[in-house]
Amino acid sequence: MADASIDAVVTDPPYELGFMGRKWDASGIAYSVDLWREVLRVLKPGGHLLAFGGTRTYHRMTCAIEDAGFEIRDTIAWMYGQGFPKSHNLDGAHKGWGTALKPAHGTRHRRAQALVGT
């Protein structure tokens, strides 16, 4: 792709959780500064990036995006009222207790802007 040829990028890269042992979800691509530099290269000045990330790993992706040269503008959280925690049940004095909180928010989104040439 040509430099500065894209107005916006919307992407949902792997959350890098190693979901069910799947290689596609443990590739490291979401944390690749080189990948995000390439996105920055093809974005027009002032163009926007919206990248979805997992609640446990979005911070690593955000750092890579910022390290690539983007300015992080906003964070958007998907809020929802239902969900089941992945928990371990406790025994003994704590029988009936679990080790996780009920999830109440989902994927975080990063809105970043390409400031080069603006």
Q: At 108, phi and psi to the nearest 5?
A: -95, 150
Least confident of 27-36, 57-66, 85-94: 85-94
| Overall average pLDDT of the 55-68 stretch | 91
DSSP 27: S
Q: Please give the residue that has the higher pLDDT: either 21 or 69.
A: 69
pTM beyond 0.85? no
**For residue 106, is pLDDT > 80?**
no
Yes or no: say if 19 and 25 are a contact pair by the CB < 8 Å rule: yes
**For residue 92, is pLDDT > 70?**
yes
Output the pLDDT for position 14.
92
| Overall average pLDDT of the 61-82 stretch | 84
Structural domains of the chain, with CATH? 6-79+106-113 (3.40.50.150)
